[in-house]
Structure 1
Amino acid sequence: MRTLLVTLEYPPFNGGVAEYYFNLYKHWPDNNFFVLAGSTKVEREDESRVVRKKLIIPIFSWLISFFHVFQTIRKNKIEHVVIGQVLPIGTVVFFLSYLMGFEYSIVMHGMDYEFAKRKKRKRILAYNIIKKAKHIFLGNSYLQALLIADLPSQSDKILVVNPGVSTDIEQINDAIDKEKGHDDFKLFFIGRLVKRKGVDKVIEALGLIDQKKFPDLKYQIAGTGPDEEYFKSLTNDSRIEFLGRISDNEKWKYMKEADVFITCSRNIDGDFEGFGIVYIEANLAGTPVIATNSGGVSDAVENNLSGLLLENDKPFEIKEAIMKLYNNRGLAKDLGEKGKKRVYEKFLWNEQVKKIFNRINQ
């Protein structure tokens, strides 16, 4: 079936949602998948089935969006449309589906749905868009529970498809020039430096661990963001190192060298972790994780299998989890190995994309 994804988020746009949609395109089993992306900048090499247009502009934005979506559907003989954002893209596709007679599916990840519900007018519109969808694909089971609570009649249309990884293992290994075996016990984090990621809670937890007794316990923090200076102001602990922005090759190197990957995310005003692909990447590198059970994280981290999943982000609980793995390196290694096996069994992109492909083409 000739299928079109319409999305505002697509590379070079950064973030997990953009990568999710890029991987739909990259791993779609046939050549009948097209993308209409809300960007005019070309970043990837194979874009033969990607159309880039400015879908949201200050003047006549709705008319422009309607025109571009309509034209792309007609030109490429599209039979099915996948909505990348319930609002505003969903509005355009919703009305065009009546005009042009096609069916559509919708993909949601968490914040897109939560923000759509905040105002009554938008909530009513979003609910109508969702109800008319042929299929509903969700990035995590946490969102599934939210949606079923709001719209129980839609439960049969829902399929949870977590993000995946599609990485050439040899290429990863080429990027890694050092195995575990160093003297220090290294905790590692990479991500956007915002409070929701819980870096402050890990810093507090490290403050509960005597620096003189445990000088070999290191915490390396990679990334930038609006709360970077705030995090730095919380500590003068020499065991904590802010790495700033690092390359993809460096990311894999730090992932592999780390004894534990740690991110204690939390829900702040409805802003929650949709999944956390970095947990899967850490496991792929053979590194166990410590995480908090927030948002869709429980899909990514299985407690006592791929890491330790904490029920809250209290610094004492985080400290206890860190010390549990610090004092039992064999357990840490075992969790890393089991986590890596779990990635291959559950989170390869080509298998994840097949789930969506098969549902649409059934």
Structure 2
Amino acid sequence: MAAVFLLLASSRDTGSGWGAVAQHLSEAQAAAGRVILLTGDEAEPEARRLTSQQRGRGRLLRLWRDAARVRRVLASEGLDPARVTLLAVDETVLPLAAFLNMRHGLRFGLVYHGTYAVDPGTGFDRRAMALAERRATAIFAVSRFTRDAVLETRPALAAKIHVANPGVPRRDITPLPRADRAPVVLSVAAVKPRKGADRLVEALALIPAARRPRLEILGLTKPRSTFQRKVMDRIAELGLEDHVTFRGFVSAAERDQAYARAMLFALPSQQSRTGFEGFGLVHLEANQFGTPTIGCLNCGNEDAITDGETGFLVDPEDTAALADRIDRLCSDPGLWQRLSEAGHARVQAQTYAPMAEVVRRTLS
């Protein structure tokens, strides 16, 4: 009998990292067997929409209701729960995965992305994580950094945690030549401290005005937030108003166009004791368009970027190094071409098929 995988996730929206992993991993798993993906997206039919990942009062009741939803979905598909393998594709749904394992014996695995794998938050989530980790067959970390961060606090998990890098779906994209691109540094991220917009502004100011590129930031903006006001004030102090644009949310087509026309992509993720970038799918997305990328050391970017080959990795605190790499990619056509070609070649092979194979082989 072909394998049947039940994937649980907070979302399948490919505009977010977690959603992209859920959607594309389910597609890759479908190549080897039957797959059912249940999420908490509003667009899901009510009979299949998960709610227990939402924090707040009534969560235990939502957990029971979600378990009943799952049972009904499996019954409607004519599936015996004992023959189904379950995968919690992000940390928010692991309480449901553990509950289904306890109630129905479903064999299951967990996918750990980043911050929430180290700091799940509330007491309920901490207890649920401890239970899920004890009962899970395997845990899949999206990067070596995430794996190591988890093992720092829970070394007993060493035997069951595996690295399974995500990827990008294969697309037939011919990168624009450098001469057809705008002198733009693109960043795709919400404007918040961990995503490093302030570092990009400071780096831009260090580049001589005659060579200074523009900066475009695509992603959620919160103009009233303390952090964004601080960034805007600093832009004004440095006289960079004509060099920085916050475009907010854009469509997937607009985002792809931005990736295609930018000279380079940069996301200097900042790290804290428990908050870190688990991988950085946006770097691979940029590489699909032949756009070299700049990320940071000491986070999951170390698996997404090969330093000096597909892009650059810099110390998250070293603004001068960030400015230097931006300047070099904008002013050195040979360097730009080498990194562009290598990055584009790499993502042709870094699809979700290898991740799906690791999950399938480990849980089978």
**Aligned: 1:339 with 2:326:** no
Match for residue 203 of structure 1? 201
> Larger deviation: 67-76 or 316-325?
67-76
Deviations 1:167-186 (A, max 9, x none): 431xx45xx8x643148533
Identity among equivalent pairs (%): 21
1-side partners of 2:360 and 2:156: how far apart? 23
1:80 equivalent among 85, 106, 112: 85
Match for residue 141 of structure 1? 144
Match for residue 49 of structure 2? 52
2:6 equivalent among 4, 13, 19: 4
Match for residue 361 of structure 2? 358
1-side partners of 2:134 and 2:316: how far apart? 35
Q: 1:253 to 1:84 in 2, by over 3 A?
A: closer
1:157 equivalent among 160, 164, 168: 160
> Is residue 140–residue 160 contact of structure 1 (8 Å, CA) maintained in 2?
yes
2-side partners of 1:164 and 1:20: how far apart? 8
**Aligned: 1:322 with 2:326:** yes
Q: Which amino acid aligns with 1:199?
A: A
Q: 1:325 to 1:101 in 2, by over 3 A?
A: closer
Matched ranges for 1:24-39 at <5 A: 24-28=25-29, 29-39=31-41
Q: 1:168 to 1:317 in 2, by over 3 A?
A: closer
Match for residue 274 of structure 2? 270
> Is residue 325–residue 332 contact of structure 1 (8 Å, CA) maintained in 2?
yes
Match for residue 178 of structure 2? 180
> Larger deviation: 142-151 or 223-232?
223-232
2-side partners of 1:357 and 1:96: how far apart? 19
**Aligned: 1:112 with 2:116:** yes
Unaligned residue ranges in structure 1 (runs of 5+): 44-49
Pairwise CA RMSD: 2.7
Match for residue 63 of structure 1? 64
Deviations 1:241-279 (A, max 9, x none): 333333222222222222221111111462221111110
1:39 is displaced (CA, Å) by 3.5
> Is residue 265–residue 294 contact of structure 1 (8 Å, CA) maintained in 2?
no
1-side partners of 2:15 and 2:262: how far apart? 25
Secondary structure of residue in 2 paired with 1:80 = strand
2:95 equivalent among 56, 81, 91: 91
2-side partners of 1:153 and 1:55: how far apart? 28
Q: 1:98 to 1:315 in 2, by over 3 A?
A: closer
Match for residue 225 of structure 1? 221
Q: 1:284 to 1:92 in 2, by over 3 A?
A: closer
Q: Which amino acid aligns with 2:165?
A: N
> Is residue 224–residue 245 contact of structure 1 (8 Å, CA) maintained in 2?
yes
Q: 1:70 to 1:86 in 2, by over 3 A?
A: farther
Q: 1:182 to 1:34 in 2, by over 3 A?
A: closer
2-side partners of 1:294 and 1:55: how far apart? 33
Q: Which amino acid aligns with 1:23?
A: H
TM-score by length of 1: 0.85
> Is residue 38–residue 52 contact of structure 1 (8 Å, CA) maintained in 2?
yes
Match for residue 214 of structure 1? 211
Q: 1:90 to 1:317 in 2, by over 3 A?
A: same
1:5 is displaced (CA, Å) by 1.6
Q: 1:254 to 1:53 in 2, by over 3 A?
A: closer
> Is residue 94–residue 128 contact of structure 2 (8 Å, CA) maintained in 1?
no
> Is residue 221–residue 248 contact of structure 2 (8 Å, CA) maintained in 1?
no
Deviations 1:193-249 (A, max 9, x none): 2121111111111112232x335x222222232255543332131233333333222
2-side partners of 1:183 and 1:5: how far apart? 40
Aligned residues: 344
Unaligned residue ranges in structure 2 (runs of 5+): none
2-side partners of 1:283 and 1:246: how far apart? 19
TM-score by length of 2: 0.84
